[in-house]
Amino acid sequence: MRKRSTVAAIDVGSTKVAVIVGGVTEHGDTRILGVGVAPAAGLSRGVIDNIQSARESVDVAVEKAEQACGMRILSAVVGVSGGHIASQNNRGIIAIPDRSRPISADDRSRVLESAGQISIPTNRQVLHVIPRGYWVEGTDPVSDPVGMYGGRLDAETHIVTGAVSAIQNLTKCVEGAGVQVDDVVLESVASATSVLQEQERLQGVAMVDIGGSTTSIAVYEEGAVTHTACLPIAGSHLTHDLARVLRCPWESAEEVKCRYGAAYASPEMANETVEIQAFGTQTQKAVSLLHVCEILQARSEEILEMVALELKRAGYLDRLAAGLVLTGGSSQLRGLADVAEARLGIPARVGRPHGYSGLSDLIGTPAYATAVGLVEYALQGRQRPLESLTTGFEPASSGGFFRRLASLGRALMPQ
pLDDT digits (tens, 9 = 90+) for 138-187: 888 898 999 999 999 999 999 999 999 999 999 999 999 999 999 999 99
Whole-number mean pLDDT of the chain? 89
Residues of the chain above pLDDT 90, percent: 76
Handedness of CA 12, 15, 17, 22 (dihedral sign): negative
Residue 351 within a domain? no
pLDDT digits (tens, 9 = 90+) for 50-101: 999 999 999 999 999 999 999 999 999 999 999 899 999 999 999 999 989 9
How would you classify the pairing of strands 47-48 and 43-44? antiparallel
- State yes or no: pLDDT of 338 exceeds 70: yes
Please report the pLDDT score of residue 2 as a whole number.
36
Domain CATH number, residue 103: 3.30.1490.110
Residue 12 within a domain? no
Q: Which of 44-58, 127-141, 291-305, 385-399 has the highest mean pLDDT?
A: 291-305
Please report the pLDDT score of residue 395 as a whole number.
52
- State yes or no: pLDDT of 411 exceeds 50: no
* Region for 156 from its dihedrals, namely left if φ exceeds 0, alpha if ψ lies in -120 to 50, beta otherwise: beta
Residue 128 within a domain? yes
Residue 151 within a domain? yes
| Cα distance between residue 362 and residue 150, in whole Å | 51
The mean per-residue pLDDT over the stretch 362-377 comes to 94
Residues of the chain above pLDDT 70, percent: 90
Residue 170 within a domain? no
| Cα distance between residue 20 and residue 35, in whole Å | 5
Q: What total of structural domains would you count in the chain?
A: 1
The mean per-residue pLDDT over the stretch 121-144 comes to 92
Residue 154 within a domain? yes
Q: Which residue, 165, 170, 168, 135, is CA-closest to 151?
A: 135
125 beta partners? 162
Residue 139 within a domain? yes
**Which structural domain, as residue segments, surrounds residue 119?**
86-160
Task: Give me the phi and psi of 101, to 5 degrees please.
Answer: -105, 150
Residue 354 within a domain? no
* Region for 41 from its dihedrals, namely left if φ exceeds 0, alpha if ψ lies in -120 to 50, beta otherwise: beta
- State yes or no: pLDDT of 43 exceeds 60: yes
